[in-house]
Structure formats: structure tokens, C-alpha cells
């Protein structure tokens, strides 16, 4: 099934000035949503429509509460086989051309509820020979941690891919959030390998408890960097810290990071959900503090203001902030390959949006800057986006959610 979208243009920056490179690029930090949409429609009238790619969407399959996806290696010219997680605890092998999906057995038991459940899935760097994958999920505590929860990451071997009964075997614990806390929000637990395949990055949310993001005795509110076996690299910024858990930290002061990506020059970027306003797109640099909950370009849900980033230059400021929020849920870097459906997106970050119901295209520059280039109204809350070999797939959010392919026009 396919449908053609009406695609309003957002092009907040085509060229980067020196000031845009050194300061955050705010998107509507003072106006309300209606004014924002009006401004974007005005922008679209001033730019030739030929400069913005258009596409239709083709629904491939449907899922209940999907959360993440990744692609298996395929031979040249073949449609990718995807691994897709459902928050309720299922992992599927999915043919992206036919939509046929096969459940994987022996997935770990998850603590489903709120924002918790089965999370991210990525391939190990040696997947071609080992069939190993990494999976994140929310787990329940036991004993003194009863009625408390935290994220965990395991490594497992995906067997039986050429059968009707694929399964996870030889599961090995890699990492877990410490401490476990009550509530079921802000796990983050996004996974990413470094471009050289040597390191595993994990986003660890603040679990809606704010203060842990600045607490060096726990790993909540941090970006984690590990060796692929789960050990802490000796060159991590806090490797010599007397507190052993800090040895795994790469950066601190984060709220809820649901997207991580390396750009073409191997810079690490993440998007982060703000509170009431102030979603962020951050350049992640070794050992830096990103300020949460001390600073934010948003405010508390109670309406009480939070000091803006520019009041504390000792903290790393975001390169982009969004108010109203876009609720960024995932990010993928677009590259042409055997296909080149969207040449205008080459080297750009594609971000899926929940409350914004959008696909946001962000460009990078050579001076550590970034800016939103296009925004597409998808008409549904979008949970994930994945660019593979010059083509793009997205996952809608919630029940009966579509896996849709973007078909260039």
C-alpha cells in the first residue's frame, strides 16, 4: 500500500554563518507551535520546490509498539533483511521487500510498561563471522531492588537465520544501569558502535530523576563508552577515577538520549529530549558535561524555568534546540549506495519525531555546527528511521504501527 504525502518545506538553514557554527541554532525558542508552522510555510514559498525531495510511503508490514530496527548484511542489490524490536518483548527478522516477519526465540524477559521494554538492537562488528548482536532492554530488580527498574545490555548469538525458528543463544551480560530506581521512564538505552568497531556507546537516561545526571557515583544521565566485551577502555576520560563506575563514562549531564550517530568525519552526535521545550542536538566530546538538570533551553513541566545554556558556558551547549519540541526518537545517517533515492540528503542526519509526527533532516558543517534543513509532516508519530544503501525506512509508533519505506518521486 502506498500513499503520497503533502510535504511542507522547512529549510531553516542552507548556508552556515560563522555565528551559526559556534552557537546553538535555535528553532522557535519563543514562538508557539502555530506561529512556527506559519513561519515554515512562509519559508517554503521563498524556495523553489525542486530543491526539496518528495516521496510517497509504502507500508511493508505492521507491528505493535515497535521501538528499533537495524539491517543485516545482504548481497549487493538485494533488499535488506531487518531486525525489529517491539517494546512488549518481541524481536523479529523482517524481509523489507515482502514484509514477511519471523519471531526470534529466547529473547530476554523485559520489564514492559511506561517507556520500558525491549529496546535497541545492533550488530556486533564481527557479525559476518560470529552472528553476534547487542540488545538493550528494561529489566526488573530483585531482592532489595524489588519494584525498581533499570536498563540492561546483553550480547547474544543470532542462530537459525536461514530457518523458520531463529533464536538467541549464548547470551552474555554487557552492562546495566546503576542504581535501579522506581518509575518506568527515560531509560534511553540506545546503542551505537564506533566507526572502527572497537567501542560500544550506550545512552543512559536520567530515569526522570534529574539529579543522577550530575552524580558520578551512578551511571544514570550519562553517555557510556565500553569495549565490545563490556569492559571500560583505559582512555576513557574518567578512567583514573577512584569511583569504578565512572570509568565507563564518556560524557555526563544528559536527560533522555534516544538517538546517536557518527557523521562522515567520525564526530558523535546525539539528540536529547528536553523537558517542556528545549529538545537538543548535541556534539558529543570526550569528558564534557552537557548541563542537565542545571541548564536547559526548556522549562520544568510545572512551569518553573530552568537556567538557559548561555548562562553557564562551563557546560557544553547544544548545536540545535527545538521549542516546541519535536520529541526526537531515533536518528540515522543517509548515504547513497546501490540506490540513491534522496541525493539531496547525502551525509545528513535523518531524525524521526514523535509529537512532531515528522521526519527532520539535519545538515552538518565543517566547523562543528548543525542546522535543520527540511521537515516532513508524516501524519503519524514516528518511532524510528533507518537509512540503508541509499534507501530509507521508518517505523510508526504505537499499535498497528507501519514499517514504511520512503519511495522517492
CA distances from 378 to 56, 357, 359, 360, 381 (A): 10, 6, 7, 10, 8
- The C-alpha cell that represents 47 in the structure block: 524556495
Closest among 4, 67, 3, 13 to 385, alpha carbons compared: 67
Longest dimension (CA), the chain: 63
Beta bridge partners of 333: 349
* SS3 state of residue 305: strand
Distance CA(70)–CA(68), nearest Å, equals 7
DSSP-assigned letters across all residues of 73-90? ---TTSPPEEEEEETTTE
In this structure, are residues 236 and 250 in contact, taking their beta carbons and an 8 Å threshold? Answer: yes
Distance CA(359)–CA(105), nearest Å, equals 32
* SS3 state of residue 326: coil
Distance CA(237)–CA(247), nearest Å, equals 7
Give the DSSP letter of residue 380.
S
Catalytic residue among 186, 189, 254, 271: 186
Distance CA(194)–CA(155), nearest Å, equals 16
Q: How many CB atoms lie within 10 A of CB 129?
A: 7
Q: How many CB atoms lie within 10 A of CB 224?
A: 24
Q: Decide if 254 is catalytic.
A: no
Residues involved in catalysis: 186
Amino acid at each position: 500500500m502506498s500513499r503520497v504525502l503533502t510535504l511542507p518545506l522547512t529549510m531553516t538553514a542552507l548556508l552556515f554563518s560563522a555565528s551559526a557554527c559556534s552557537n546553538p541554532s535555535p528553532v522557535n525558542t519563543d514562538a508557539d507551535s502555530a506561529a512556527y508552522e506559519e513561519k515554515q510555510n512562509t519559508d517554503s514559498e521563498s524556495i523553489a520546490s525542486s530543491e526539496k525531495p518528495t516521496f510517497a510511503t509504502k507500508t511493508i508490514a505492521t507491528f505493535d509498539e515497535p521501538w528499533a530496527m537495524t539491517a543485516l548484511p545482504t548481497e549487493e542489490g538485494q533488499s535488506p533483511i531487518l531486525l525489529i524490536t517491539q517494546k512488549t518483548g518481541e524481536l523479529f527478522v523482517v524481509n523489507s521487500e515482502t514484509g514477511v516477519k519471523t519471531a526470534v526465540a529466547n529473547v530476554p524477559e523485559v520489564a514492559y510498561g511506561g517507556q520500558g521494554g525491549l529496546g535497541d538492537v545492533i550488530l556486533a562488528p564481527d557479525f559476518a563471522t560470529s552472528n553476534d548482536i547487542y540488545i538493550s532492554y528494561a529489566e526488573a530488580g530483585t531482592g532489595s531492588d524489588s519494584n525498581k527498574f533499570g536498563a540492561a545490555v546483553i550480547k547474544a548469538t543470532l542462530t537459525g537465520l536461514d530457518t523458520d525458528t531463529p533464536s538467541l543463544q549464548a547470551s552474555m551480560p554487557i552492562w546495566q544501569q546503576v542504581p535501579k530506581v522506581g518509575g518506568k521512564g527515560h531509560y534511553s538505552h540506545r546503542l551505537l558502535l564506533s566507526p572502527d568497531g572497537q567501542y560500544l556507546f550506550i545512552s543512559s537516561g536520567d530515569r526522570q530523576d534529574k539529579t543522577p545526571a550530575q552524580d558520578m557515583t551512578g551511571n544514570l544521565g550519562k553517555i557510556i563508552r565500553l569495549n565490545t566485551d563490556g569492559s571500560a577502555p583505559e582512555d576513557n576520560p574518567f578512567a583514573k577515577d577512584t569511583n569504578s563506575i565512572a570509568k565507563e563514562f564518556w560524557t555526563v549531564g544528559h536527560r533522555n538520549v534516544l538517538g546517536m550517530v557518527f557523521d562522515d568525519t567520525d564526530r558523535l552526535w546525539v539528540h536529547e529530549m528536553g523537558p517542556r521545550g528545549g529538545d537538543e542536538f548535541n556534539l558529543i566530546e570526550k569528558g564534557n558535561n552537557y548541563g542537565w538538570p542545571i541548564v536547559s533551553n526548556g522549562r520544568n513541566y510545572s512551569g518553573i524555568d530552568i537556567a538557559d545554556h548561555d548562562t553557564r558556558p562551563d557546560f557544553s551547549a547544544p548545536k540545535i534546540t527545538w521549542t516546541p519540541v519535536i520529541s526526537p526518537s531515533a536518528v540515522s545517517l543517509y548515504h547513497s549506495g546501490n540506490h540513491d533515492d534522496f541525493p539531496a540528503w547525502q551525509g545528513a542526519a535523518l531524525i524521526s519525531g514523535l509529537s512532531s509526527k515528522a521526519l527532520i533532516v539535519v545538515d552538518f558543517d565543517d566547523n562543528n555546527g548543525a542546522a535543520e534543513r527540511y521537515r516532513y509532516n508524516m501524519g503519524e508519530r514516528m518511532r524510528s528511521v533507518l537509512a540503508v544503501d541509499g534507501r530509507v525506512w521508518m517505523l510508526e509508533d504505537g499499535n498497528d504501527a507501519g514499517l514504511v519505506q520512503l519511495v522517492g518521486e
